[in-house]
Structure 1
Amino acid sequence: MSSARVVECVPNFSEGRNEETIQAIASAIKSTEGCSLLDVEPGVSINRTVYTFVGSPESVVMGALSAAKVAYKLIDMTKHHGAMDVCPFVPVANTTLEDCVRCSKSLGEQLARELGVPVYLYEASQERDYRRSLQSIRKGEYEELQEKLKQADWAPDYGPTTFVPRWGVSVVGARKFLIAYNVNLLGTKEQANRISIALRESGGSTGKKPGRLKLVRALGWYVAEQGIAQVSMNLCDYEVTPIHTAFEECSKDARELKLGVVGSEIVGLVPLKPILMAADYYIEKEGLFVLHESQKVRLVIDRLGLNSISEFKPQEKIIEYRVGSNTDGPLASGSVRSFVEQLAARTSAPGGGSASACIASMGAALGAMVGLLTFGNRKFEALDPVMRVAIPPLHSATQQLIPLIDKDTQAFSSYMEALKLPKTTKEEIAKRKQAMQDGLKDAIEVPLNVMKIAYGCWDYMITIATHGNETALSDIQVGGCSLHTGLKGAYYNVCINLKQVTDEDYVRTVREEVERMSQSSEDKLTLLLDTVKQRQNKGQ
């Protein structure tokens, strides 16, 4: 489980025929540090190319800006409608829609400042309802832009109100990830369309009776080369209508029509999160015990029949796997020897914070290990229900703590950047001071998170100590001591940084929370060790 922040950017440039221009824009994206270009899809007939790339929020903004600068030099709208048409930012991993709104506004501001072009915001980035949809902004097309820009209600969000003939306007914004998803039926186009009408939010053509699935667009068609019908859906927000919900509801209607469902397909790429959401659904529904991410992905491929049309290859289809953003940082992915030697080096990082996250992760891991040595063992078969409850949270905590080993080392980056800010004028001094305070809070959040995750393990650790395999009791003792040591180390890191924070309310709130967890952790460790000691004494 990675903590890498990933945003997808999908800029459209209305040049789909000139290969040299298409490749020049692609090169600009690929050469931007932190950006991974996933797809370039030119459309000759509509003279448009769609680029798909991902990266950190900061990287994708720079990638989009670099692409726009190249397009500005190479495309002239007076010859054909080109330049950067629309550019949405989409949250993929460890990012929010609000993060993407900030990306779009940053890009819009820079496009206006550096290229001198008008820019509109749309979708979640636009605060005015009447100009939120792309269709509203595009109304009148290029030909009416000159007059539209003069209207007070249609002044651009950034840039000049004067017409820029060679560019037109750009529309930037933020939206949720759209999943193109098809369910396969042994039926006719008409039957597939009947199901699509019942499911899609808009319902039938009259719109009087809405469909059952929110934020879903759908239609039915027949795929002759496969000999199947499909309910083809756009899931506009997979957190509102997840993939598994779409599949199950479609299957339900197919059964009522006595139609066979023969799998489904995801068109294009998909984030990891909706796949894991589907895994959690089937695990709960069927009472399964599945811990590892790779097994969860495999379960979803099977339950949704994602191999039915073509092989679903996770390393190619899941965005985080495709770009390697699910990999650990250098400390967590290196050897134990390398990490320990770096701790011993004459440098301030990695330091106690990274060590604390590592030690806490080992504590949770040992708890999970003892649970697994108990689960599935015929001797302890009666304890399987108990272990099914206790093991998953400890496994999850281990996976959450591992990325924090590296993240703690990076935590001071914003504070160190703030120290470099100018401090000549009163305004600069105030800005620098605020940035330093924000940086300190960022640095506190990592060890605070270590404490919260570690503290959440205690009840499950005590359950394992009470019921776990008696041949591994020393392991749960070591696990408990490690968990407490990691939590306590994180506590010291929080406290030392709190001393420099001037926000009294923040300091009071955080201090109360960490003091409570620190004291309670000592009590929990004592209980765990006493529990194990009693079991050991009984066994003598």
Structure 2
Amino acid sequence: MSKLIECVPNFSEGRKPDVIEAIAKSIKDSDGCHLLDVDVGESTNRTVYTFVGNPSSVIKGALNAAKVAFKLIDMSTHKGEHPRFGAMDVCPFIAVRDTTIDDCIECANQFANLLATTLDVPVYLYGAAARSDERKLLPNIRSGEYKNLPKKLKDPLWLPDYGTSEFVSSWGATAVGARNFLIAYNINLISTKEQAHKIALNVREKGRGPTQRGRLKNVQAIGWYLDEHNLAQVSANLTDLGVTKIYQLYEEVCKDAKELNLPVVGSQIVGLVPLKAVLEVAQFYIDQEKLFVLDEMSKVKLAISRLGLDSLGKFEPSKKIIEYAVADENRDFPLGTLSVQSFVKSVASRTPTPGGGSVSALVASLGAALCTMAGQLSYGKKQWESVEETMRKSIPSVHESMMDLIPLIDLDATAFNTYMDALKMPKETDDQKAKRNEKMLQGILQAIEVPMQVMSKSNQAWSSAKEIAQSGNKACLSDLQVGARCLEIGVWGALQNVVINLPKITDESLKNKIEAECMAKMKTAEDACKEILEILLNRKA
């Protein structure tokens, strides 16, 4: 799969369609760039563009967009609600696939240098690309905004990282950074700007200052008013989704709004959002309201509904969720997305992959799928009302095993290819031999780890499969028999893929440890399958 970097430049123009479209076109026309989203804010007078590509492509795309903005945007006449200090106000790079934060830092430095030398403008580095702690936070760099920039550029402590320290009135300055996913998330209120800002001060980490911190970590927020929608917003950035979730911010704002007797009327995600963040929202409300929602897209719809993400415009998952938006840009799991016929033919082809490991993962996932189907056909039906609670608890577990096993179909093939690539490395010198042996060991350990995951993920389904077998729809007994056997054969097939690779490991203690662990997993599968088949046989009698 190709390397993928996301670039999210924010331009200080949200009211002139011709300018907004010209910048968008410059990105679309850049080779290797895929424009995913254009989020226009009229009151903020700001447009956020989101596009992806390989590292060199996104740098070129960002530069092409900046060149257009340099000709068409004049900061000396700009007015808007959003804090800003430049025509291309901020330009972050974010790792998406097969890339790291270091790759993004490299992109930020290359782009910052090109921007400064091409347009002769001041450029600051922020986030992970910052060269000092004072410049890591964007609000610090942008403090004083455009009106204070002439004075700031003369301050020795705030000389630009790249480019001129002279004030360019039409452009201002640009902050270029590298960061993890940041969610720009706004919550709508029927209130004044001041009331929204009061809530923002309560929830944001900085609060009202050092002595009066806010309640939520890694949240930046202000309050503003949108004239075109006749409502206010708590406008926030969630800078670490591992610390503060979208639903936590939404619930905290709702709590403060209720205390002030202010209605919350939906919310808005600016740019794109990771699927995981949306599913976390859904899971929160599923748990809170004791809902039964299994399908991924149903969970996405639930999150959209509970947060009111359609309130200011249609929230289209295919365009707003990054994994869906880039799905046609080299699919994450190509084998898992093939038709049955194509997959079977690919197994039969004259190539070592996909082979027994991928087929084992597929068979195991089908076993979990059959158990899921049997559970679904036992839920929500009048004649099976007595087992509804059991099904609500059991179905998600077998469904989760099914979903976890699907990507392993591809990972098994990828792991084997890593070992095959190592075999092709040069071995003329002692140094080359050492590097080759090290790479071969890494490949073998990876080739062993994936089938061990297949065994573990398959075994996670047994407990719930047993519950479904004991009390589920009798019309599905044969399906459950096949399902149990598929899970067992998936584990057995994965075991064979481990066994065939074990001799390549020279560390005897490691080899024995892996073998013992795998044999224990196999026994778990054999015992569980036997028990379920006996249960089903007795129910048939």
Q: Same fold by TM-score, threshold 0.5 exceeded?
A: yes
- Pair 1:412 & 2:416 matched: yes
More displaced 10-residue stretch of structure 1: 357-366 or 336-345: 336-345
| Correspondence 1:350-499 to 2 at 5 A | 350-499=354-503
Aligned partners of 2:259 and 2:534: how far apart in 1?
59
| Correspondence 1:54-453 to 2 at 5 A | 54=52, 59=54, 61-64=55-58, 88-92=92-96, 100-104=100-104, 123-124=127-128, 129=133, 132=136, 174-204=178-208, 206-324=209-327, 329-453=333-457
Aligned residues of 2:104 and 2:179 also touching (Cα < 8 A): no
Aligned partners of 1:251 and 1:505: how far apart in 2?
56
Q: Secondary structure at the match of 2:504?
A: coil
Aligned partners of 1:101 and 1:301: how far apart in 2?
30
More displaced 10-residue stretch of structure 1: 418-427 or 274-283: 418-427
Shift of 1:372: 1.0
2:15 paired residue number: none
Shift of 1:91: 4.6
Aligned partners of 2:423 and 2:63: how far apart in 1?
32
More displaced 10-residue stretch of structure 1: 320-329 or 428-437: 320-329
Aligned partners of 1:5 and 1:519: how far apart in 2?
41
Q: Secondary structure at the match of 2:476?
A: helix
Aligned partners of 1:448 and 1:125: how far apart in 2?
38
Aligned residues of 2:23 and 2:68 also touching (Cα < 8 A): yes
More displaced 10-residue stretch of structure 1: 449-458 or 428-437: 428-437
Q: Deviations over 1:472-507 (max 9, x none)?
A: 111111100000101111111122223223455654
Aligned partners of 1:201 and 1:255: how far apart in 2?
21
Shift of 1:103: 2.2
Aligned residues of 1:397 and 1:454 also touching (Cα < 8 A): yes
Shift of 1:410: 2.7
1:526 paired residue number: 530
Shift of 1:377: 1.7
Shift of 1:229: 1.7
Q: Secondary structure at the match of 2:269?
A: strand
Aligned residues of 1:105 and 1:121 also touching (Cα < 8 A): no
Aligned partners of 2:230 and 2:140: how far apart in 1?
39
Aligned residues of 2:279 and 2:300 also touching (Cα < 8 A): yes
Shift of 1:419: 3.1
Shift of 1:262: 1.1
Q: Secondary structure at the match of 1:226?
A: coil
Aligned residues of 2:50 and 2:271 also touching (Cα < 8 A): no
How many pairs align? 508
Aligned partners of 2:462 and 2:222: how far apart in 1?
50
Aligned partners of 2:299 and 2:357: how far apart in 1?
31
Aligned residues of 1:101 and 1:173 also touching (Cα < 8 A): no
Aligned residues of 2:28 and 2:34 also touching (Cα < 8 A): no
- Structure 2 unmatched runs, 5+: 13-18, 71-85, 118-122, 144-148, 165-173
Shift of 1:288: 0.4
Given the superposition, is the C-alpha separation of residues 328 and 365 from structure 1 closer, same or farther in structure 2, using an over 3 Å criterion?
A: farther
Aligned partners of 1:358 and 1:110: how far apart in 2?
43
Aligned partners of 1:501 and 1:65: how far apart in 2?
43
Shift of 1:295: 0.8
Q: Secondary structure at the match of 1:374?
A: coil
Aligned partners of 1:219 and 1:398: how far apart in 2?
43
The alignment's C-alpha RMSD in Å is 4.7
2:83 paired residue number: none
Aligned partners of 1:418 and 1:72: how far apart in 2?
43
Given the superposition, is the C-alpha separation of residues 123 and 180 from structure 1 closer, same or farther in structure 2, using an over 3 Å criterion?
A: closer
Aligned residues of 1:101 and 1:125 also touching (Cα < 8 A): no
Letter in 2 for 1:241: T
Given the superposition, is the C-alpha separation of residues 477 and 41 from structure 1 closer, same or farther in structure 2, using an over 3 Å criterion?
A: closer
Shift of 1:235: 1.4
Given the superposition, is the C-alpha separation of residues 6 and 391 from structure 1 closer, same or farther in structure 2, using an over 3 Å criterion?
A: farther
Aligned partners of 2:267 and 2:244: how far apart in 1?
16
Letter in 1 for 2:268: E
Aligned residues of 1:100 and 1:174 also touching (Cα < 8 A): no
Letter in 2 for 1:520: T
Aligned residues of 2:226 and 2:233 also touching (Cα < 8 A): yes
Aligned residues of 1:104 and 1:121 also touching (Cα < 8 A): no
Q: Choose from 504, 511, 517 the match for 1:513.
A: 517
Q: Deviations over 1:362-417 (max 9, x none)?
A: 10001111111111121221211111111011112212222322332233333333
TM-score of the pair, normalised by structure 2: 0.78
Shift of 1:130: 6.4
Aligned partners of 2:415 and 2:335: how far apart in 1?
14
Aligned residues of 1:7 and 1:100 also touching (Cα < 8 A): no
Letter in 2 for 1:38: L
More displaced 10-residue stretch of structure 1: 342-351 or 274-283: 342-351
Q: Secondary structure at the match of 1:447?
A: helix
Aligned partners of 1:255 and 1:412: how far apart in 2?
57
Q: Deviations over 1:320-353 (max 9, x none)?
A: 2222169674433333233223323333222111
Given the superposition, is the C-alpha separation of residues 440 and 134 from structure 1 closer, same or farther in structure 2, using an over 3 Å criterion?
A: farther
Given the superposition, is the C-alpha separation of residues 257 and 309 from structure 1 closer, same or farther in structure 2, using an over 3 Å criterion?
A: same
Given the superposition, is the C-alpha separation of residues 330 and 217 from structure 1 closer, same or farther in structure 2, using an over 3 Å criterion?
A: closer
- Structure 1 unmatched runs, 5+: 77-81, 164-169
Aligned partners of 2:181 and 2:251: how far apart in 1?
21
Aligned residues of 1:26 and 1:51 also touching (Cα < 8 A): no
1:166 paired residue number: none
